[in-house]
């Protein structure tokens, strides 16, 4: 995605996200690979990613009996981290456990994103994730509507604690690596995230977002948008050391 402005938050405000970039991954897992997926993702994959310089936090969310069932979010300092030599070296040298686990992935989306707008300074145990298809000529109008109207409206709802608009960088998302070559995936161009303390709040935000104004702008919301519940949250060793030093 080109021509997208840098990270934007309310002036002087903290943000719930750790950094100005993120990797967002949606996936299902074949039934026979579920146990292996959890063992690998919990104990190897998340710690491995967070050991890469510039990665700040990893979170995995799930929605049982929904497809895709899992949403994983890695937050990073900036987009350059997600195209850096240390990250690409890791992607080009998948472990044996990674190779086995990825064979079970189904219905995968992966987007390397810039955070374009972010409101709210608290994280929530529930995450609404909406993948958007936006006509190029409507991207500016959509961003203005979300930043000045829809995101503030969602933040006024009880239980909603943060909202984020992310734009995929196509070049970064489609970098060919040993890992990306193991599975097919699509790249959503825009992603709208909403963090909430209870699921019903996130669903109310979804009703607010997925309304006539987006349709008027020609924005399509994927029908598999869903609210996911947090399964795991882990910060990088560098982040933990920084906290300990305070």
Query: pTM of the predicted model, to two decimals?
Result: 0.92
pLDDT for residue 2 is more than 50: no
Q: Angle at CA 227, nearest 5°, toward 72 and 8?
A: 65
What is the mean pLDDT of the segment spanning 94-123? Answer: 96
| Contact status, residue 43 vs residue 77, Cβ threshold 8 Å | no
pLDDT band at residue 13, thresholds of 50, 70 and 90? low
pLDDT in tens, 171-191: 999 888 988 877 789 999 999
Which domains does the chain carry?
21-245 (3.30.70.100)
Q: What is the pLDDT of residue 1?
A: 42
Q: Find the distance separating the first CA and the last CA of the chain, reported in whole Å.
A: 38
Q: What is the pLDDT of residue 176?
A: 87
Average pLDDT, the chain: 93
Q: What is the pLDDT of residue 15?
A: 85
Residue 83, H or E segment = none
Q: What is the dihedral of CA 138, 143, 149, 153, to 10 degrees?
A: 120
pLDDT band at residue 241, thresholds of 50, 70 and 90? confident
């Amino acid at each position: 995605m080109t021509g997208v402005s840098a990270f934007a938050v309310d002036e002087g405000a903290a943000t719930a996200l750790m950094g100005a970039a993120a990797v967002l991954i949606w996936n299902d897992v074949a039934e026979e690979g579920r146990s292996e997926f959890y063992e690998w993702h919990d104990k190897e994959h998340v710690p491995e990613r967070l050991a890469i310089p510039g990665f700040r936090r990893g979170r995995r969310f799930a929605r049982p009996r929904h497809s895709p069932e899992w949403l994983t979010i890695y937050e990073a300092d900036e987009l350059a981290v997600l195209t850096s030599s240390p990250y690409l070296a890791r992607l080009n040298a998948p472990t044996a456990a990674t190779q086995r686990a990825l064979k079970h992935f189904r219905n995968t989306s992966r987007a390397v994103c810039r955070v374009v707008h972010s409101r709210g300074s608290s994280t929530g145990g529930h995450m609404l994730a909406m993948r958007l298809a936006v006509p190029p000529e409507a991207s500016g109008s959509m961003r203005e509507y979300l930043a000045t109207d829809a995101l503030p409206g969602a933040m006024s709802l009880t239980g909603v604690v943060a909202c984020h608009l992310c734009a995929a960088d196509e070049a970064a998302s489609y970098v060919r690596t040993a890992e990306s070559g193991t599975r097919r995936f699509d790249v959503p161009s825009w992603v709208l995230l909403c963090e909430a303390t209870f699921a019903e709040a996130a669903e109310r935000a979804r009703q607010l977002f997925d309304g006539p104004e987006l349709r008027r702008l020609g924005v399509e919301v994927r029908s598999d948008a869903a609210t996911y519940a947090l399964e795991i949250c882990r910060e990088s060793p560098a982040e933990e050391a920084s906290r300990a030093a305070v």
